[in-house]
Structure 1
Amino acid sequence: MKRNLRMYSKIFLCTLIGMSSCKKNDNSPEQIAVAPIIPITPPTSTTPTAVIPAYEVGTGSGNLTIDGASLDFTRIKLVRIKAGTYKTIYIKNLSGTLDAPINIKNNGQVVITDGLETDNIINVSISGDNDIGIKYGFSFENIPFRAIKMNKRIFGVTLKSLSFRNVADYCIAGERSNGDLAYDGGENTRNERFKVINCLFDNTGAIVFNGSLNKDNSQDMGLFKDVEIAYNQFQNTNAGALCVFGNIQDYNVHHNVVNNVNMSNNNHNGVFYMQGNGTFHHNKLTNYQGNAIRMWVYSRGSSPVTVEIYDNICYNTRKYGGFEIQGFDRNIYPGKTTYVNAKVYNNTVGRMNTSKDWEGEILDLYNYGGTLQYYNNLGFELYHNGLPIANMINNMSDTKITLEQNNKYVASQQDAVTDLESFLSKITGIGALL
């Protein structure tokens, strides 16, 4: 009996001890260990880089012919020429579309020593921009005659990222098969959408396409429409006129840089010499001889268009003034052409005609049948036959000037522009802004 009481006492005591060890009203939640957050790296894409199908041509030397008659361009629109030094490249019978042109590109540096010739190419781009790190993938060097000869009608053709050094004759030239193409008013009888973009011309001859419009002999041939000459560099040549089109509608000549040309050439040159209508803007010409552009003007159709010269920099010419606008009766062809109107504005022109044997002002103005708007132009260090500078126009015409305002002449470069690199005008709103 005593043993049982002793056992019950022990059980009771243990129960009390257990109860006393519990805290009253303890509602603390159970502590749960937080798992570390591991950033999830997205899986590497397994989609392969798109491969553009191309014809790989050339051996790296010799003479290369690319003939559309022997290649299927239904699906493949790209031709890559293997790097190397070629004597000649002949490209013929290629016909792309406006939306899917045929592209001919370099695959590495391609050097051409005798010349490139095209024949019957439509909607084709010849471009040396295939490789990062190579600015001009097609290089024409020490060419004894013409660097590029172009035959037949030229339609939708672009020449881009090419360099030309030491070319003895014309650099890019149309042949008689496009220059003599008689224009009858239809698209198929003119050349159209020709572009020369981002090219270097160093000690070369000119870009020349010799069309002609003359009512006196009923001639209208070699017409070019919608031509763009842009972002090119011309330097170190004595060739005279560097870009010539004899019969052109709607040209756009812009963002070209010209330096050190015609140092001993005494012809009355126009560095750009364009007969027809168009615009000339954002070009920079320094250390040269000749007008920056000789615009010999007429409009296509019966309604006059407006030609424009604006935002150009012209500095340090040995002969002549900044720009020329002139018209001729032979170019006013009843049923085909009429006169133009003109706008010349926001140009910076300085140190003209340092030889002092001709007028050296902003504009050489001849009769052309239309009106002129002339404003916001900046001139400095100009020459007016030893007389004080007036409105900076060498006016040999009876052209009606319908707007003439905010043109500013200052005697010295230091008062006109901040420096001889940017030519930033010191006069707000006046002069060129490249």
Structure 2
Amino acid sequence: MGKLYFNIIAIVAIFFFTACQKAQTLAPTSTNTTTGTTTIIPVAGRTIAIGTGTGNLIIDGTTLGLKCNDTIKVKGGTYNGIDVQNINAGCPIYINNDGLVQMAGNSDHMHITNVSNLTISGDGTTGIAQGFISRDNAYYHSIILNGASHNLTIQNFSFSNIGNIVIYSTGTNIYNGTKASYTDSLKILNNTCTNTSTFIQFGGDVIAGIITGLIKNMEISGLNFSNSNCGVVVFAANADSYNIHNNIITDINQTNNNHNGIFMIKGSGSFHHNLVKNHQGNAIRAWIRSFGTVPQTVLIYNNVVVNSRKYSAFEVQSFAAELAPGVTTYANAKIYDNTCGNLNLSKDWIGVIVDVYDLFGGTCDVYDNVGFNFPAPNPNSFFVNEQASTVPTVSNNIYFTTATAAGITNVNTLTVK
């Protein structure tokens, strides 16, 4: 009886192991211990070749009979458009390049609609680091996200000479708690932008207690963005638990004079290990609030922000109209372990570590930061510029009059550790 019982258990275990191939499992990841950048690693499955290298390509999950861990390989060439839609196998699916896949010219684009557990990655061909390219498009978005998605990763793309917003979503979905009403676990990783407009714009709002365009667990990492006069690089109207890290933003906004944030994020999460230099604008304007009834804490740490033409390194601020009882509430902020120097060199505004506005009940702690050469500080502080009733707690920060005094021989070689 005992032997029969264990045989039955073994059979059941095999059955459930097989069934789990269709479970909603997340793809394995690899993390670079130097940069902290995460990359999705495909698990071996079937390979499905698709595309002719030209024209308009439709990748429709309803017609491909997809199974877990399948990889769709897009034939190299230049396409007018690529539409990715209806991929919901309940387990990881991958779209890779087979050679160099380009969308080149005005109105060439990628639309992504109704997908989950999908990774679109330009590392499908050995020797090509960014195998999906969008370039020379003066008028249209490179990628449009339609509706909600879950566990969508877009990685290893290259964008250049794009005149409109590169990755765009209108953010019109009304959040009601159901899965279809919000985007979850959207990852945009290891991409390069040169001479483009705003990289990301995710719309949405909080009006009269109604949330639209909610994104939970958004990650933006490994972005190398340069040579642009776009003002805002990344805008997200409603981001819950965002993780923005290990991005490099250089040589932007040389003639732009708007009071912008390079990252303009509304919600709560963390902004860390980013390098922003030779620029105009706050590295992040964190317009902070928590979703639900439990106050969250926004963390801004281990960033390097140097050589700004205008403004302080960071900003934190809240708005009473966006705090709705039972729907959203205040958030706290911690700004620490950042290195910031040569700020607001134009001297037409105050330039310190952080501008602090009213947080409507939230607290703000500023500590363990290093600053150097702030030619227009707040008269009362080299570290905070208090602009409203929220009084920040300031401790253990160090200021030097020059980079040399701070032990920095070459500001342009500073990196994030």
TM-score (norm 2): 0.85
User: SS where residue 55 of structure 2 aligns?
Assistant: strand
Does residue 283 (structure 1) correspond to residue 274 (structure 2)? The answer is yes
Which one of the candidate residues 311, 315, 324 is aligned to 2:306?
315
Which one has a bigger Cα radius of gyration?
1
Separation in 1, partners of 2:44, 2:246: 34
Equivalent in 208, 217, 222 of residue 226 of structure 1: 217
Which residue identity lines up with residue 358 of structure 2 in the other structure?
N
Provide the residue aligned with 1:174 in structure 2: 169
Aligned counterpart, 1:123: 117
Which of 48, 54, 70 is the aligned partner of 2:63? 70
1:80 is matched with 73
Aligned length: 368
CA deviations 1:321-357 (Å, max 9, x no partner) are 1000000001111111111111100101111111111
Contact 1:293 1:324 in 2 (8 A): yes
Name structure 1 gaps, 5 residues minimum: 1-49, 425-432
Q: CA, structure 1 residues 115+374, in 2 after alignment: closer, same or farther (shift >3 Å)?
A: same
* CA distance in structure 2 between the aligned counterparts of 1:415 and 1:130, rounded to whole angstroms: 47
Rounded Cα–Cα distance in structure 2 between residues aligned with 1:75 and 1:194: 20
- Per-residue CA distance 1:381-419 (angstroms, 9 max, x = gap): 11336x7673421111232434x3220110101112243
**CA apart distance, 1:153:** 1.2
Is the CA contact 1:54–1:76 (under 8 Å) kept in the aligned structure 2? Answer: no
Of residues 128, 132, 136, the one that matches 1:134 is 128
Flag the 1:163–1:389 CA change in 2: closer, same or farther, 3 A.
farther
**Residue 160 of structure 1: how far off its partner (Å):** 0.3
Distance 1:183 1:51 in 2: 36
Q: Is the 8 A contact 1:60 1:83 kept in 2?
A: yes
Q: Of residues 43, 54, 68 in structure 1, which corresponds to 2:47?
A: 54
Shift of 1:154: 1.9
Aligned twin of 2:178: 186
Letter in 1 for 2:65: D
Please name the residue that 2:148 is paired with: 153
- Counterpart of 2:404 (choices 414, 420, 424) is 414
Task: Provide the residue aligned with 2:344 in structure 1.
Answer: 353
The amino acid that maps onto 2:297 is T
1:348 alignment partner AA: T
Counterparts in 2 of 1:72-111, with a 5 A limit? Answer: 72-74=65-67, 77-97=70-90, 100-111=91-102
Matched with 1:33 is none
Distance 1:108 1:337, change over 3 A: same
Q: 1:86 to 1:319 in 2, by over 3 A?
A: same
Structure 2 runs not aligned, ≥5 long:
1-42
**Which residue of structure 1 lines up, in the alignment, with residue 40 of structure 2?**
none
Partner residue of 2:26? Answer: none
Provide the secondary structure at the position in 1 that maps to 2:405. Answer: helix
TM-score (norm 1): 0.82
Q: In the alignment, is the contact (CA less than 8 A) between 2:157 and 2:191 conserved in 1? A: yes
User: Quick one: which amino acid aligns to residue 231 of structure 1?
Assistant: G
When residues 412 and 247 of structure 1 are mapped into structure 2, their CA distance, relative to the original with a 3 A threshold, is same
Question: Distance in 2 between the 1:372 and 1:169 partners?
Answer: 36
Within-5 A mapping of 1:6-17: none
Aligned to 1:380, which of 372, 376, 399?
372
Q: State the shift of 1:76 in Å.
A: 6.1
